[in-house]
Chains A and B, each alone.
Chain A
Amino acid sequence: MPITVRIPTPLRTLTGGADEVAIDGSTVSEVIENLEKKHPGIKERLCDEKGNVRRFVNVYANEEDIRFLDNLATKVKEGDSVSIVPAIAGG
């Protein structure tokens, strides 16, 4: 079972409306790269030009904020989940 990536509402236009996508990878970085291959354009929404996660985007590996783990080098394995939570400003 690959890794389940949970896609937030603002990014579902890039995944054909899917709220969950199955992606392979052994680190969060690999997962994002493979996510980009499957759904071009999504990496730019998640990462800046240096390849770091954008400051207003939170990424969780198995509900743990990767900033408190190994950031993009955080290891993941089959059956794990990666969730993306961007900041939203409307009110």
Chain B
Amino acid sequence: MANLHIDQIAKSFGQTQVLRGVSLHIEDGEFISLVGPSGCGKSTLLRIIAGLESQDSGDIQINNTSMAGTRAADRNLSMVFQSYALYPHLSVGENIAVPLRMRQLNTLQRLPLIGPLMPGARAARTAIQQAVTQAATTLEIDALLNRKPGQLSGGQRQRVALGRALVRDPAAFLLDEPLSNLDAKLRVQTRTEIAELHRRLGATFVYVTHDQVEAMTMSSRIAVMMSGEILQCGAPDVVYDDPDDIRVAEFIGSPKINILPATLQAQGQIHLLDTPLQLFTRKPHDSVQIGLRPEMIELAPAEAPAHDTRYAQLTGTLAHLENLGSELYAQIEVPGLPRRLILRAAPRQRSALHMGAPVALRFDTTQALIFDGVGKRVRHLLHAPDASWRQAS
């Protein structure tokens, strides 16, 4: 087990810059997810950590030792590939045994037919066999040991690939979208299993995925990557509740966060659809955007006091309703907003929602996420104008 330190890694393929100085420190035993849309460089970063790709600049340290000039075979890492990359001619047991055979047997002992007759080979082979059986038992694939990968289902192949990774004791596990070839139901199940495996082994995991749900549910920390940079790295709830960047806010969370254009008026007061909100910025910005998660918007209760300054009011018409059973997602057309607002409602509110009917909404301005014109988060908002605002401007 080990910690991993990624220091200013940059990589270009021809003219395309894939990674722009990425840095990240991963503690021993952490489960880190690298998440981002396809083409953001997350797989490349994982392959650079593994040593399968070389970086243009920067350094990878495993257990505080620089890996510069160390080839992948000598980095003592395990990797699970998206395609599983099982050797098709070897049985499940032989596949799982490969990492041990390569490390614990010498060239002569590995030879077919005469290999087992070499001195020391018998004991080493027995030890390998035991390790394989143990790994297979952990993953409940001990009944499949004699089958070929071609005779297995996708989920079973995925387990064999995991088995091959955990049969030895690597410094860290690298997983490259291991669930993306599974069907939805199996994915949910395997997700739990991998998370439990991580808890049991206490090993360092680096997990690459484009699926934010996987990242949210499994990781100790999430590193959100976009266009070759890590935009934010933090615990799942921090990344969700307190995003640093509008791209992070938009990527994490399903349904997507609502982004509402707003304007900044005198004294830094934020106006939404020409209505002033009780929200003030400390510094002037060209423009601002309001980010509202679907659960931040609620249907305005009829008996609510009309002018509670904490809440901002909006009215629109119900354009579409999605019923997921446990919750409802309503799409509301609000005049003046470029996109429909999505809000989450409880099933008991179903009776209040009629297609095409006007809907009154409100949201708590203290919860709203404010971003500036380029998408950076604006923090330290005030609920009354700042006395020093004028000077600052």
The judgment on whether A and B are partners is no
